[in-house]
A and B are shown apart, each in its own frame.
Chain A
Amino acid sequence: MAMQSMKKVIGSIEFGILSPQEIRKMSAAEITVPDTYDDDGYPIEGGLMDKRLGVIDPGLRCETCGARAGECPGHFGHIELARPVIHVGFAKTIHRVLESTCRECGRIKLTDEEIDEYMKKFEVVGDRKKAKDKLIKEIHKKAKERMVCPHCGAPQFPIKFERPTIYYELRKDEEGNEYKHRMMPTEIRDRLERIPDRDLPLLGLHPEKSRPEWMVLTVLPVPPVTMRPSITLESGIRAEDDLTHKLVDIIRINNRLKSNIEAGAPQLIIEDLWDLLQYHVTTYINNETSGIPPAKHKSGRPLKTLAQRLKGKEGRFRGNLSGKRVNFSARTVISPDPMISINEVGVPLAIAMELTVPEKVTEFNFEKLRERVMNGPEKYPGANYVIDPEGRRIRIMENNREKIVNELLDIGWTVERHLEDGDIVLFNRQPSLHRMSIMAHRVRVMPYRTFRLNLPVCPPYNADFDGDEMNLHVPQTEEAQAEAKILMEVQNHIISPRYGGPLIAGIQDHISGGYLLTREGAYFTRPEVEQMLTFAGVEVDELPEPDKFENGEPLWSGKAIFSLLLPDDLTIWYRNKLCDESERCDALERLIEEKFIPDPDEVRELAYDGFVYIQNGKLLSGAIDKKAYGREDGKLLDIIVREYGAERARQFLDQVTKLAIWVITHRGFTTAIDDEDLPEEALDRISEIIRDAEERVNRLIDAYRRGELEPLPGKSLEETLESKIMAVLAEARDNAGSVAEKYLGMGNHAVVMAKTGARGKILNITQMAAMLGQQSIRGKRLYRGYRGRVLTHFKPGDLGARARGFVTNSYKSGLTPQEYFFHAMGGREGLVDTAVRTAQSGYMQRRLINALQDLKVDYDGTVRDPTGIIVQFKYGEDGVDPMRSWGGSTLDVDRVIMRTLLKSRGNGRR
């Protein structure tokens, strides 16, 4: 239809007050009858459901535009008020304007000089709302205190405003007695009319868009029926909208007022009706006006009138404009799938058959789409609707699909087909705190009922699988799909804009597995190599030469296999987390420095797990740990993203995580209580350390008691004692930890995880195996509880280690009841901290977003707000996007030189 192709672009929006003329001009009918439908259920002419205001009943035609229900947008009507009434929304403004202007001549009560001065100030202020409001306030304050008009010399009176819509003048009679004069809306309107246009800017009003007298209503717009439809209940009774109810009241009182005026009724009766009209108009606009009782339904429920429709969380702005329920979206529980790509999302079949993508029929997809339509909504891959070239949607059903396929469907039609593999969708997890909370994924339709996602995308969404749900949205136009693909796809967010390192990266077992694969001494047989490469989806024409033979069987090193995933010309070296013999790293570093391109065999000679050296895509030294492709400091991943692009990085991450998973599952990797077993001699050493520490603590306490303790600068004697004790105990735990560490090698899986950065810290292992150490609250030893002691098991005033929360047992050996209680005390602090922190940071985040959301980087590099006010003359002061920078600077010159040299020399030699 013609309606379909009618598109308009909003050029600008203007806010102002409707003038009576405008209200009449936009009105399709004057409404005078306080009723809706007649006994036959037909709209009454001149009533609130007048057909000139649009139609909602099927079958009727609008008398203004001729369209049927659903197509007619509705049209405004109007009510001519018998007497003017105050618009509550402007009650305060009216008071301010009355106070600021002369009661005789209507001029603003400022001298001509003051007017000039303020006019100039307005020019300087420009569009800054805050400064403008301040000026207006200042003018008001100055003008209302003038008790004689500077223009005509007329004496002025203070004006009292009584909520919500009553104004008094505090006049004085000849004898000087004060008396209150009630100003009726007619009088107020007369005064407002007298204010000349040129004075209005000083009052914050625009002469053409908002004359002050328009704030006193003489004509009331009646909204179209389409925005207050009546509902037919099951019982057949019509229920009218709250707005309609209110309008009925207004018209009824208005008519009564009119006839009373015409009949020349006493002033008192007229004023009573007038006030009643004012009440109805006020509650019609805002039924939560303070100072008057809200208008109520027969049932006692307060009516939802105009202001209530807009206000609050469920209101038009927050509930329907800023955020709304949308079609083409789905929500379900998420679960992990390490086999799909990081930029894919597994979509349950049931959802794929409900969500659709509109696809235009062309000669290239005609056959495919015919098949989809033929399959219909019930059979996957099918389609739910077809749209003809005029824009009519036709639901595909059992009885019409053959006709659609054979007779109707043609080039130019659109088919709303089921979601299929490869479609672009947006995937989101709340709270959406940063832009990586919504990313574009490609669909993989799968059985069962959960969304599936690969593990490296858990950190950006902050997702886990303990019941988390996520949302999915299907972009419906080619533009939206292209935009999502280019700007939002997962691989484009591997690097975090916050710290410039990878955010989407290998986690946990990916790291442990990478280490097990690449550490010194890891060799694999041909079947193993073939299996793991196939599993990881790595295509190689030919395996490299085996690294060694054992009993005639060829073996490949994990490093050689890992190298197959790397770009051919990648060169990089770095110390990783495993480096604890820095001489060995130094030696390798020196070799690289001297030879620049050292001979691979020479490097292998010195190879050390703690120093990674990759030369032209070959891992020659070092094991893979968190620094390779882990979060925040995965250097390898970082370099691949920057030098080979996001797509290559995605491929690398997909392959490397799968490879690591193959290795870790086939080798076997678990942690159990025996990972914390320590030999007898180690336990003895730890006991000794504890005994020694306790003794030292006791000696400190004795010294303190005898008054022999020297206070540290800036500390009291007690504080000195505490800090010395804490130092002794911290040292004791560290020593116990070192002892435990000495006995736990890389054969221990807990240690492997901690050292490679896969999960946990060494501290966690020492607490499990050796001892828990000092428990603390706010950085202090525990002291709260009973008088002079934490628990009644200790003597009052006992300052000893054990009495103040020093736990000598480990998780493995088990805590005593007292120790357990101390541990719970310390643990509580952590819980409270996180709870408080999330609440505070959430609030701070919201405030920051509110302040910054509309700022943007302009083409000239400046940061500006929407009005063009400059906030930064250069983005971030240096104009650098952290996501695309090299550790904060625009370029890593050393690396560029290195790469250039490598290229030229490499080509020259080989």
Chain B
Amino acid sequence: MATKKEFNVFMHELVPEHRVLSEKEKEELLNRYRIKISQLPQILVSDPAVVELGAKPGDVIEIKRKSPTAGVYYYYRLVVEG
């Protein structure tokens, strides 16, 4: 049988870098913006990037995006079920 074709979304140039935050970093993030975790933007666990990372609901993901205005822009999303 032919080997299944491996496809990694992060190989695509239009997919920005994703990273799971550690508990400590998560804490810092929430303190920095003085927010509850439910006030973060969200991302589904079924999102291909989250699947690839293997993140679980409750994790926070840091997305390093290229920005036309700011150069590099960090965005944070809470992983949620669905």
Q: B1-41: which residues lie under 8 A (CB-CB) from chain A? A: 33-36, 38-41
Stretch binding the partner chain, chosen from A37-45, A409-417, A567-575, A861-869 = A861-869
Q: B23-64: which residues lie under 8 A (CB-CB) from chain A? A: 33-36, 38-41, 57-58
Contact B74 A873 (CB under 8 A): yes
Contact A873 B39 (CB under 8 A): no
Does A759 reach chain B (CB closer than 8 Å)? no
B6 to chain A, nearest CB (A): 32
> Which residues from A are CB-within-8-Å of B40?
869-870
Supposing A124-B80, A873-B75 touch, asked if A868 and B70 sit within 8 A by C-beta, the answer is: no
Q: What per-residue 1/0 map shows which CB atoms of A121-144 lie under 8 Å from chain B?
A: 100111110010000000000000
Supposing A124-B80, A860-B33, A862-B33 touch, asked if A870 and B39 sit within 8 A by C-beta, the answer is: yes
Contact A877 B38 (CB under 8 A): no
> Which residues from A are CB-within-8-Å of B58?
124
Supposing A124-B80, A870-B39, A870-B40 touch, asked if A878 and B33 sit within 8 A by C-beta, the answer is: no
- Complex: chain B residue closest to A871, CB-CB: B41
Supposing A124-B80, A860-B33, A873-B33 touch, asked if A878 and B67 sit within 8 A by C-beta, the answer is: yes
A855 to chain B, nearest CB (A): 13
Supposing A871-B41, A880-B69, A888-B69 touch, asked if A126 and B36 sit within 8 A by C-beta, the answer is: yes
Contact A125 B38 (CB under 8 A): yes
Interchain CA distance A114-B62 in the complex, whole Å: 32
Residue with the greatest number of chain B CB neighbours at <10 A, chosen from A873, A878, A879: A873
Q: How many chain A residues touch B (Cβ–Cβ < 8 Å)?
A: 23
Does A146 reach chain B (CB closer than 8 Å)? no
A787 to chain B, nearest CB (A): 48
Contact B80 A870 (CB under 8 A): no
Supposing A124-B80, A860-B33, A862-B33 touch, asked if A876 and B39 sit within 8 A by C-beta, the answer is: no
Interchain CA distance A600-B74 in the complex, whole Å: 51
Supposing A860-B33, A873-B75 touch, asked if A867 and B69 sit within 8 A by C-beta, the answer is: no
Supposing A860-B33, A862-B33, A870-B33 touch, asked if A878 and B70 sit within 8 A by C-beta, the answer is: yes
- Complex: chain B residue closest to A864, CB-CB: B39
Contact of B70 among A124, A864, A871, A877 (CB under 8 A): A877
Does A206 reach chain B (CB closer than 8 Å)? no
> Which residues from A are CB-within-8-Å of B80?
124, 131
- Complex: chain B residue closest to A125, CB-CB: B38
> Which residues from A are CB-within-8-Å of B81?
121
Contact of B38 among A121, A124, A860, A876 (CB under 8 A): A124
Contact A868 B39 (CB under 8 A): yes
Supposing A124-B80, A870-B40, A871-B41 touch, asked if A877 and B73 sit within 8 A by C-beta, the answer is: yes
> Which residues from B are CB-within-8-Å of A862?
33
Supposing A877-B69, A878-B67 touch, asked if A870 and B38 sit within 8 A by C-beta, the answer is: no
B70 to chain A, nearest CB (A): 4
> Which residues from A are CB-within-8-Å of B36?
126, 868
Supposing A124-B80, A862-B33 touch, asked if A877 and B39 sit within 8 A by C-beta, the answer is: no
Contact of A128 among B38, B67, B69, B73 (CB under 8 A): B38
> Which residues from B are CB-within-8-Å of A871?
41
Interchain CA distance A879-B71 in the complex, whole Å: 12
> Which residues from A are CB-within-8-Å of B33?
860, 862, 870, 873
A459 to chain B, nearest CB (A): 26
> Which residues from B are CB-within-8-Å of A880?
69
B38 to chain A, nearest CB (A): 4
Does A61 reach chain B (CB closer than 8 Å)? no
> Which residues from A are CB-within-8-Å of B67?
877-878
Interchain CA distance A750-B50 in the complex, whole Å: 62
Interchain CA distance A592-B33 in the complex, whole Å: 49
Does A96 reach chain B (CB closer than 8 Å)? no
Interchain CA distance A126-B39 in the complex, whole Å: 9
Could you tell me the dominant secondary structure of chain A's interface residues? Answer: loop
A58 to chain B, nearest CB (A): 55
User: Which bucket holds chain B's interface residue count?
Assistant: 10 to 19
> Which residues from B are CB-within-8-Å of A870?
33, 35, 39-41
B72 to chain A, nearest CB (A): 9
Interchain CA distance A888-B68 in the complex, whole Å: 10
Contact B35 A126 (CB under 8 A): no
> Which residues from A are CB-within-8-Å of B39?
126, 864, 867-870
Interchain CA distance A22-B45 in the complex, whole Å: 46
Does A874 reach chain B (CB closer than 8 Å)? yes
Interchain CA distance A888-B67 in the complex, whole Å: 13
A518 to chain B, nearest CB (A): 36
> Which residues from B are CB-within-8-Å of A879?
70
Q: What per-residue 1/0 map shows which CB atoms of A842-878 lie under 8 Å from chain B?
A: 0000000000000000001010100111110110111
Supposing A124-B80, A860-B33 touch, asked if A869 and B41 sit within 8 A by C-beta, the answer is: yes
> Which residues from A are CB-within-8-Å of B35?
868, 870
A440 to chain B, nearest CB (A): 31
Contact A874 B38 (CB under 8 A): no
Interchain CA distance A871-B33 in the complex, whole Å: 12
A907 to chain B, nearest CB (A): 37
A857 to chain B, nearest CB (A): 13
Contact of B73 among A127, A131, A867, A874 (CB under 8 A): A874
A419 to chain B, nearest CB (A): 44
- Complex: chain B residue closest to A865, CB-CB: B39
Interchain CA distance A128-B42 in the complex, whole Å: 11
> Which residues from B are CB-within-8-Å of A878?
67, 69-70, 73
B58 to chain A, nearest CB (A): 8
Contact A874 B41 (CB under 8 A): no
> Which residues from B are CB-within-8-Å of A888?
69
> Which residues from B are CB-within-8-Å of A873?
33, 73-76
Residue with the greatest number of chain A CB neighbours at <10 A, chosen from B33, B34, B36, B75: B33
Interchain CA distance A432-B10 in the complex, whole Å: 44
- Complex: chain A residue closest to B78, CB-CB: A124
Residue with the greatest number of chain A CB neighbours at <10 A, chosen from B38, B73, B80: B38
Contact B69 A876 (CB under 8 A): yes
A859 to chain B, nearest CB (A): 11
Contact A126 B38 (CB under 8 A): yes
A327 to chain B, nearest CB (A): 41
Interchain CA distance A873-B29 in the complex, whole Å: 11
Q: A812-867: which residues lie under 8 A (CB-CB) from chain B? A: 860, 862, 864, 867
Contact of A127 among B34, B38, B69, B70 (CB under 8 A): B38
Interchain CA distance A867-B38 in the complex, whole Å: 10
A117 to chain B, nearest CB (A): 11
Q: A95-127: which residues lie under 8 A (CB-CB) from chain B? A: 121, 124-127
- Complex: chain B residue closest to A134, CB-CB: B82
Interchain CA distance A867-B39 in the complex, whole Å: 8
Interchain CA distance A877-B74 in the complex, whole Å: 9
Interface residues of A (CB under 8 A from B): 121, 124-128, 131, 860, 862, 864, 867-871, 873-874, 876-880, 888
> Other CB < 8 Å A-B pairs besides A862-B33, A867-B39, 20 of them?
A124-B57, A124-B58, A126-B38, A860-B33, A868-B35, A868-B36, A869-B38, A870-B33, A870-B35, A870-B39, A870-B40, A870-B41, A873-B73, A874-B70, A874-B73, A876-B69, A876-B70, A878-B67, A878-B69, A878-B73
List, sorted by A's number, 12 A–B pairs whose CB atoms are closer than 8 Å: A121-B81, A860-B34, A867-B39, A868-B39, A870-B39, A871-B41, A873-B75, A873-B76, A874-B70, A876-B69, A877-B69, A888-B69
Leading 6 A-B pairs by shortest Cβ distance:
A126-B38, A878-B70, A878-B69, A877-B73, A877-B70, A877-B67
